[in-house]
Structure 1
Amino acid sequence: MAPENDSSVTEFILLGLTQQPELQLPLFFIFLAIYVVTVVGDIGLILLTGLNSHLHTPMYYFLFNLSFIDLCYSSVFAPKMLMNYVFRKNTISFVGCMTQLFFFLYFFTFFGISECYVLTSMAYDRYVAICSPLLYNAAMSPKVCSSLMLISYLMAFLDAMTLIGGMLRLTFCDANTINHYLCDTYPLLQLSCTSTYILELEIIIVSGINIILPSLTIFVSYGLILSNILHISSTEGRSKAFSTCSSHIIAVSLFFGSSAFVYLKPSSMPMNKGKFSSVFYTNVVPMMNPLIYNLRNKDVKLALRKVLRMVKF
């Protein structure tokens, strides 16, 4: 997995989130709890969606894919991070770092970009449901939903491979201290002894396309939805519409806000800010998604009670 180059560095030192020994154990339990909640929440929603026929709708089809993406997304790096806390190991070989970078870029970028487009598809679903309810079945047919997901995964694959090709061409000479808890893109760019201008430009273009365009599409959709909601005469109807959309707006704001801060910043910005932001969108956001969508959703609660009754009897 290591690139064929003239790098003289044989191993890297990962500084992690903090170098204070007394914080290692509390951080381990915090991230373990976050990861457990993420896994349980996402697997729970996947099983509920699969077992309950009344959840076989476009909205839950996208939620099913979002849960699958979050499960894979968080599993790319969380287990390795937890192992580092347990074994207190802060070094990684060059080959190991490049391997981690490959899997991080491929799977993390793939699932991260996929999530951008799944959230956009969900915004489109809510727009059609509220603004054009009579056309909903035609506009959100199984074929349309499958096509939207296929486009999401295809875009993610192409962009991930573009970044991988650029990163594996880097060479490293003397500096080997990575101010991060994993072999991420920007920390390695700062250590490279070759020009990174083209690669930084690629990262900004890919990030801009996959963060700015989907987020603009989402907020335009919700602007139209809000305009439509304000024309609903029924107070109960307005309340239901706001409740349906508010969960998605919260999830979108958390994910796109933290991602933009990390990947649309100049590489010269101090890494301490970037790595704490990356913790937020790589750990906290995947945990929040199942909580946001499940705890506020009557259909999910009803499905959960139904499954529990089935297990009981």
Structure 2
Amino acid sequence: MLSDGAFPHQIAVLALDGVFPFELGIPARVFGAAGGAYEVRTCSVDGGPIETNAGFAITPAHGPEIVESAGTVIIAPTHPSRLGPRLSEPVATAMRQIRPGTRVASICTGAFVLAAAGLLDRRRATTHWEAAEQFRTWFPHIRLDEDVLFIEDGDVLTSAGAASGVDLCLHLIRSDLGSEVANRAARRCVVPPFRDGGQAQYIDRPVPDDPASSTAPARQWALEHMAAPLSVPELADLVHMSPRTFARRFRDETGLPPHRWIIQQRLHRARHLLESSTLSVDQIAADVGFATATSLRQHMNAELGVSPHAYRRTFRAEPAAELVG
């Protein structure tokens, strides 16, 4: 939840020369689908026009002065060749406008700017997998994990390539206003409402061309029977594979081993029920396939660092959601 509780929440998106226009537009599109809870404004470091990497220039409506008043600042990506291990003075000046305690996020290679500004020191971070080697060369002291979609480390968040910027924005809406508002925004944008930040961002392995050799039918069946035990041999049998072949192909297609994927799906559904229903924790645990409430509590503590009751206290009360109908 936002600490100040003030809505519409002010978001400043900082665009640098060479900005990727698709990613630049993500915050306005996604937060704009949250029904008036956010005001998203785009700025450049000097208030002037900026080049994009798509052969045209744009002129943001604002200069760096909006960074100082924003509750959230998002850094849009540009190619690392336009950046470096040290910020240019105009960019550094703009970054110094960020007030202490402001929530800061990056999309894709925007993480390079956060790193050069010192905002990722002693934190975990991610960026696009293709830029990971360059990132480590410039910032070896930062704990980079290029195998995930996004990372939240305190009030600093980083995300991977283009689509994960959408995931990051939906995650922030979910954190601020709860799953119902985030799901509604996702439907308006016609995107999946939730992809866990720990999901692999890219799997460089061959995926079967023949749909009959895919594990997708087993995954769909699992989602429809989440309360069932869901053993690997049972799921493998549904798609006529041996358990070993199924487990290997499942990881090729999802980036996760079957048991890990099942736990994530169960936790996702449990979180939704904790936010949107009055079911007891015992009933939710049974409905999503955990043997006991204790098992649900252990998994939530391991994944999120909170108990089901604490999670419900945080996200069940959503007075700000009234703003979005």
TM-score, with length taken from structure 1: 0.29
Higher helix share: 1
Q: Relative contact order: is structure 1 or structure 2 higher (C-alpha 8 Å, sep ≥ 6)?
A: 1
Higher strand share: 2
